[in-house]
Amino acid sequence: MKSTIYATALVFAATAANAEDTEIRVHYAIPTIWAETQEKLADAFMAKHPDIKVTIDGAAEGYADGVQRLLREAVAGNAPDVAYVGLNRWRILEDRGLTHPLDGFIGDQAAEMGFTPALLSLGRYEDTQHALGTSASTLVMYVNPDLVEQAGGSMDDFPDTYDGVIELAAKIDALGDNIDGVWIGRHDWRFQSLLGAHGGRPMTEDESDITFDSEAGLAAADLYQRFTDEAGMKSYGQDEARQALPAGTLGIMFESSSLQTRFEEGAGDAFELAVKPLPIVAEDKTMVYFPTGGSAIVLLTDDEAKQQAAWEYISFVTGPEGQKIIVENTGYAPANAKVIEDEAYLGAFYESNPNALVAHTQVANYAGPWYAYPGAEGVAVTDLIAAALVEVAEGADTETTVNDLADMLRDQLGM
C-alpha cells in the first residue's frame, strides 16, 4: 500500500515538475500600445492555464526592429517561442523558414474558432497558415472638432473627399502659428491605405511586378505634396504629431485606428476627439481595400512540448476572450468573427465607444492584406518608399519620383 502511495506521489510530483517547466517566451513590439495589454493577456491566459507560464520579452520599439531582433536571435539559437509581428513582417520570418505552420492545430475548426477566410488570409501564404491575425487597424482621420468649428467648418458636414479635407485643413492651419491643419506619416502602410482608397495595389497578385506607378498610385502619392503645399503640413516626425493631436494643436491627423484610446486619454477634457473614415476615391468600391495594419502571431519554437503550450496561448489571444482584451485596451479592431458577431463580447463597448465603430466598419467592409514586399529586402524596401514620400512632400516631382522608386524596387527585388 505504501509503495502504491509512494508511486502515485512520484507521478504527481513529476507532473507538477513538468507543468512548472512548461514556460513559453513571448516577443512583442510597440510598447506604447501593447505593454499593458500584453500583461493582461498573459495574466488572463495563465489564470485559465495554470500549468503554462508566459514570460514576456522586453519589447521592440517597432515591428521592423522586432523582426530584425528575431532574425538575430534565431541565428544565435535564442529565439522566443511565440512572437507578435507586423502583418506585413511575418513573411520575412516565413522566408527564412522560421515559422511553423498552424494548419495542423486549426484542422477543420477554423469557422468554429471564429477565423473567416478573410481573417485567415492575413497570415496565409501558398496554402499554408503561417500566422494568425491578433489585431487589426485601418487608417482613419482623427479630428479636433474645436479647431474645425473655429475654422468655420462643421462636424455634421465634415468633408468626405480629399479636396474637401485639404480645403478645411488649410483653414485650420491659418488659425495661428501654433496650429497645424493636417499631418500624415511618410510611411509605406499609410501610402498603401491612400493607394487602396484610390483602387490601386502595390504589386500584382503573383508579386511579379510593382504596380503603384499607376494613375491611382500617382494620385495617392501626390496627396503628400498637396497636404504640404495647399494645407501647410509640417515635416515633423511621428512622435511630435502624436503629441500635437491630443495637445490640441493639430486639426486632422491620418493615423492608425489602434491609437484611438491613447489619443482620447491624451485629449482628456480639453476636447472631444472625433474619428472619421478615410475618403474613398475609386468609383468601383470592389477595388477599394484598406491594408490591415496591426499584428499577427507566429509559432517559432521547434520544441514539440512547447509547441502545444504555445498553441494554447495563440488560440487564446486570437479567440474571443483574448480579442475582447485587445480591443478594449488598444483601439484595434478584432481579428475574430465571433467577437464581432456576438454582442455579449463587445456590444457594450461599442455603445460607449462610437469612435471605434469607424475603424471596425472599415475592417469589415474594406480590409485587405498589408502587402509585404517579398524576400529578405522587404524591410529595406519600405524604408525606400518612406524616403520617396519625404521627397514628394518636400516638392520633388511626384510622377518622376514614383516611377523612379518603382524601377528601383524592381531591381532590388529582382523582378
pLDDT at 267: 97
DSSP H/E element including 274: strand 274-276
| Spatial distance between the Cα atoms of 170 and 189, rounded to a whole number of angstroms | 25
2-136+293-368 and 139-291+373-412 agree in CATH topology: yes
Q: Which residue has the cell 507566429?
A: 298
Pairwise pLDDT comparison (286 vs 218), residue with the higher score: 218
Averaged over 402-409, what is the pLDDT? 97
Given a cut of 60, whether residue 290 has pLDDT beyond it is yes
The dihedral built from the CA positions of residue 7, 9, 10 and 16, taken in this order, carries a sign that is positive
Q: Residue 220 — pLDDT band, cuts 50, 70, 90?
A: very high
Runs of H (alpha helix) within 248-353: 260-267, 304-317, 320-330, 337-341, 343-352
pLDDT at 102: 98
> Phi first, then psi: what are they for 338, rounded to 5°?
-60, -40
Does the domain at 2-136+293-368 match CATH 3.40.190.10? Answer given as yes
pLDDT at 363: 82
For 87, half-sphere exposure in the C-beta direction (CA atoms, 13 angstrom radius) is 27
pLDDT at 126: 87
pLDDT tens-digit series, residues 147-188: 999 999 999 999 999 999 999 999 999 999 999 999 999 999
**DSSP strand pairing (295-299 vs 82-86):** antiparallel
Averaged over 375-386, what is the pLDDT? 84
pLDDT at 13: 40
| Spatial distance between the Cα atoms of 374 and 64, rounded to a whole number of angstroms | 14
pLDDT tens-digit series, residues 322-352: 999 999 888 788 999 898 888 899 989 988 8
- For 177, counting Cβ atoms within 10 Å of its Cβ (0-12 exposed, 13-18 middle, 19+ buried), the class is exposed
- For 347, counting Cβ atoms within 10 Å of its Cβ (0-12 exposed, 13-18 middle, 19+ buried), the class is exposed
Given a cut of 90, whether residue 365 has pLDDT beyond it is no
Tell me what the pLDDT averaged over the chain comes to. 91
Could you state, in order of their start, the residue ranges of all structural domains in the chain? 2-136+293-368, 139-291+373-412
Given a cut of 70, whether residue 14 has pLDDT beyond it is no
Q: Percent of the chain having pLDDT more than 70?
A: 95
pLDDT at 20: 55
CATH of domain 139-291+373-412: 3.40.190.10
pLDDT at 16: 42
Pairwise pLDDT comparison (375 vs 65), residue with the higher score: 65
Query: Cβ distance 141 to 278 under 8 Å?
Result: yes
Given a cut of 80, whether residue 50 has pLDDT beyond it is yes
| Spatial distance between the Cα atoms of 316 and 46, rounded to a whole number of angstroms | 10
Q: Residue 367 — pLDDT band, cuts 50, 70, 90?
A: confident
Extract the C-alpha cell encoding 215. Answer: 494613375
Candidate from 19-28, 224-233, 279-288 with smallest mean pLDDT: 19-28
Q: Give one DSSP letter per residue of 166-180, joined into a string.
A: HHHHHHHHTT-TT-E
